[in-house]
Structure 1
């Protein structure tokens, strides 16, 4: 079992902070293991009695009755009581499966899980933890639903560092495997290549697509699948719902509405299967509405979506870098800078603008820089910013890291992924 210490330590730091700890992330990425195994074992090691940790797994049949938030709340209140000298912990798995119900004993008011959790977190002797796999089911604004009293911890599939801590061996071979199959934790137990591919494919057919369809009342599952394919083929490329709608209309020989596509894309984002990076004008200090970039939360899921037909390492590398930056808690945008040399007005792209509070770094992803044209392309965008923030090019084709004559830091991808170099 991979320890996932960074997430575990965040849970530990936020114990008894008077807030609900909300653990989010795509299904099967390891949220339940983090809470029900790793954090559970931590509590036991600190002397917490096993019977003082209440565990409700709402995707298991024996816990279905607790999908009614009133039933859940009454059950917990009856056990916990009011003795503040007895400390209790509540774990709820897949909280998005709960339903809104009518409280007939209190004026027929509609009650949600948020109402019940807000009630439970008022107990001084109860520390509450929940997991969820859908931002819509948890509400996009968790802070509002929990009245400003929630701590969100977003869990990603295994990072390369986490994967390598388990797999070991040659770093480059491990990276090649990771770039192909990604970091879904279950893969660590599978040795056969076909088993790995079948597992990733089954996650779509048996889990992700069904979840999105059922939760959002999707009527055109075929279009949803087409959008998943399109976004998988377009990682690291600029696009928007209008472009997607036009492409699908041509492919299906029928008119596909932009609004429908936009809604379906948002449902996919809400499921944490993909994320969207907005474009930011470095000089104008404003965001563009469209087009944006879309990245898969896990590159293995992206490759499986395309049946491994488009294995383009440059785009996969960029997707991995984006995920790693988000995993480290940074704010990440796609940068745009205008080149006005020679009287022109050309927009140049910076792959990522990374912000950490008042600190900023520009990052280019370059699988290799093996020609003067490629080198000029990567360097020009960074130099056009004309500021003093750190500039980095992450590469696969260099054996060691160095600064060039322009003060730009050239960083090996593996060193970056294994956190051997400081970005700031």
Structure 2
């Protein structure tokens, strides 16, 4: 398999060189963190003229480096390698295997000519709070599985065939090593069970693994649906005839979010300019893992399209919420208040976009349904509908951009065309 370019993440690391902080590459397991550091970033350093003697590497999951998991020995080894003048680059992979790694790294970071980069991928290191371990000395680069654009750089086939592959097996780079559908499916199912669930159970000392797996299954089958711990608790009572309290469910959901397996989108009152506490939506960081959890049974492209759009917006660095527009209406002769939904409210700095995910726009009625919440936002931020069946990007008479999913995903500047 040819090398997959991860230029966006590589450029982020390059831009953070020599900033005095510990660069921490986080992300869901098997998304390519180790490859980014030990292959792509190291190659950049060497092409920039850095001598091999000034690149200190340790992969703590390698048998030959097992002895360096002992903190005093590791600290001594690193100090012995940093002898001369000039900048040294410390690349540590699977650093969570190093005993007292927080103290070791905080100590090394005080050396004036050392630039530190680390990855980690077991349960402890996957915590979103890992940066706090370094007491303000950490600088996070969060990594995602392959975007569709990255996937297509190595996929040999049409965009449509690539899309079908991507929305089935996702973007974990290792999936590309397998040839047959059976091999890919077996790999993803085993990875979910033996790696992700095992990590979450181990880190959080979860006693009832079955309950956690039940929560995962429900979230997998309801991607993009509004929910909260109370609703999920009621689902268990009515469907599974078992009781799991809302606080317990909230704990499980937090564990899944901390491991980066799922991500949460809060609801935002667009006209009232405030967040709504509950319910919220969940999306899977990798759609292939979600599908594997359901044995590839629920393959509704409408929900998958929404999940892929959400992930792409996160990859591009946007904060993503679910927009809510409250309107007054008439029903059965009386007045009612209804909540219309904008799938995604995306913010980055001063930029904001309103985006609807619509698999198909077969007629004017469906178009009107998608456009109505956008037109009621009460402001002039850009409004976009991403669909599967628009041949080319075009603006309607209200100034709304209608865009094909491929144009959206394959052009990094697609929101500004």
Question: Residues 357 and 202 of structure 1: is their aligned pair in 2 closer, same or farther, counting only changes over 3 Å?
Answer: same
Does residue 96 (structure 1) correspond to residue 84 (structure 2)? The answer is no
Give the Cα separation in 2 of the matches to 1:197 and 1:259: 33
Question: Residues 312 and 400 of structure 1: is their aligned pair in 2 closer, same or farther, counting only changes over 3 Å?
Answer: same
Give the Cα separation in 2 of the matches to 1:306 and 1:326: 24
Is the CA contact 1:282–1:335 (under 8 Å) kept in the aligned structure 2? yes
Task: Give the alignment partner of residue 227 of structure 2, picking from 221, 239, 245.
Answer: 239
Question: Residues 12 and 258 of structure 1: is their aligned pair in 2 closer, same or farther, counting only changes over 3 Å?
Answer: same
Does residue 402 (structure 1) correspond to residue 387 (structure 2)? The answer is no
Give the Cα separation in 2 of the matches to 1:70 and 1:271: 29
- Counting only pairs closer than 5 Å after superposition, residues 19-34 of structure 1 correspond to structure 2 as 19-34=21-36
Question: Residues 55 and 359 of structure 1: is their aligned pair in 2 closer, same or farther, counting only changes over 3 Å?
Answer: same
- Counting only pairs closer than 5 Å after superposition, residues 244-255 of structure 1 correspond to structure 2 as 244-255=232-243
User: Aligned residue for 1:300?
Assistant: 288
Is the CA contact 2:123–2:202 (under 8 Å) kept in the aligned structure 1? no
Does residue 413 (structure 1) correspond to residue 405 (structure 2)? The answer is yes
Q: Structure 1 stretches of 5 or more lacking a match?
A: 100-111
The structural deviation recorded for 1:311 is: 0.2
The structural deviation recorded for 1:421 is: 4.7
Task: Give the alignment partner of residue 289 of structure 1, picking from 277, 288, 311.
Answer: 277
Question: Residues 204 and 115 of structure 1: is their aligned pair in 2 closer, same or farther, counting only changes over 3 Å?
Answer: same
The structural deviation recorded for 1:11 is: 1.0
The structural deviation recorded for 1:139 is: 5.2
Question: Residues 393 and 208 of structure 1: is their aligned pair in 2 closer, same or farther, counting only changes over 3 Å?
Answer: same
Give per-residue Cα distances to partners, 1:234-273, cap 9 Å, x unaligned.
1111111122222233444322111111111111111111
Give the Cα separation in 2 of the matches to 1:133 and 1:295: 21
Does residue 150 (structure 1) correspond to residue 142 (structure 2)? The answer is no
Give per-residue Cα distances to partners, 1:7-36, cap 9 Å, x unaligned.
111111111111110100111110000001
Tell me the SS of whatever aligns to 1:295: strand
User: Aligned residue for 2:177?
Assistant: 189
Please, which moves more after superposition, 85-94 or 353-362? 85-94
User: Aligned residue for 1:49?
Assistant: 51
Give per-residue Cα distances to partners, 1:79-133, cap 9 Å, x unaligned.
324x4x143211122233445xxxxxxxxxxxx4223212211111111001133
Give the Cα separation in 2 of the matches to 1:187 and 1:138: 21
User: Aligned residue for 2:414?
Assistant: 422
Is the CA contact 2:267–2:323 (under 8 Å) kept in the aligned structure 1? yes
Task: Give the alignment partner of residue 314 of structure 1, picking from 302, 305, 309.
Answer: 302
Tell me the SS of whatever aligns to 1:206: helix
Alignment TM-score, normalising by the size of structure 1: 0.92
Number of equivalent positions: 410
Is the CA contact 1:338–1:384 (under 8 Å) kept in the aligned structure 2? no
Q: Structure 2 stretches of 5 or more lacking a match?
A: none
The structural deviation recorded for 1:138 is: 5.9
Give the Cα separation in 2 of the matches to 1:134 and 1:408: 44
Question: Residues 142 and 217 of structure 1: is their aligned pair in 2 closer, same or farther, counting only changes over 3 Å?
Answer: closer
The structural deviation recorded for 1:379 is: 0.9
Give the Cα separation in 2 of the matches to 1:71 and 1:212: 30
Give the Cα separation in 1 of the matches to 2:359 and 2:180: 28
User: Aligned residue for 1:102?
Assistant: none
Task: Give the alignment partner of residue 314 of structure 2, picking from 315, 322, 326.
Answer: 326
Tell me the SS of whatever aligns to 1:39: helix
User: Aligned residue for 1:108?
Assistant: none
The structural deviation recorded for 1:289 is: 1.5
Give the Cα separation in 1 of the matches to 2:66 and 2:403: 50
Question: Residues 134 and 376 of structure 1: is their aligned pair in 2 closer, same or farther, counting only changes over 3 Å?
Answer: farther
Does residue 179 (structure 1) correspond to residue 167 (structure 2)? The answer is yes
The structural deviation recorded for 1:369 is: 1.4
Give the Cα separation in 1 of the matches to 2:408 and 2:276: 29
Is the CA contact 1:93–1:132 (under 8 Å) kept in the aligned structure 2? yes
Task: Give the alignment partner of residue 349 of structure 2, picking from 338, 353, 357.
Answer: 357
Give the Cα separation in 2 of the matches to 1:13 and 1:97: 27
Give the Cα separation in 1 of the matches to 2:62 and 2:238: 43
Give the Cα separation in 2 of the matches to 1:6 and 1:173: 25
Is the CA contact 2:149–2:409 (under 8 Å) kept in the aligned structure 1? yes
Question: Residues 391 and 236 of structure 1: is their aligned pair in 2 closer, same or farther, counting only changes over 3 Å?
Answer: same
Question: Residues 356 and 396 of structure 1: is their aligned pair in 2 closer, same or farther, counting only changes over 3 Å?
Answer: same
Give the Cα separation in 1 of the matches to 2:71 and 2:241: 46
The structural deviation recorded for 1:232 is: 0.7
Give per-residue Cα distances to partners, 1:363-392, cap 9 Å, x unaligned.
000000114442222111111112111000
Is the CA contact 2:327–2:339 (under 8 Å) kept in the aligned structure 1? yes
User: Aligned residue for 2:358?
Assistant: 366
Give the Cα separation in 2 of the matches to 1:258 and 1:159: 34
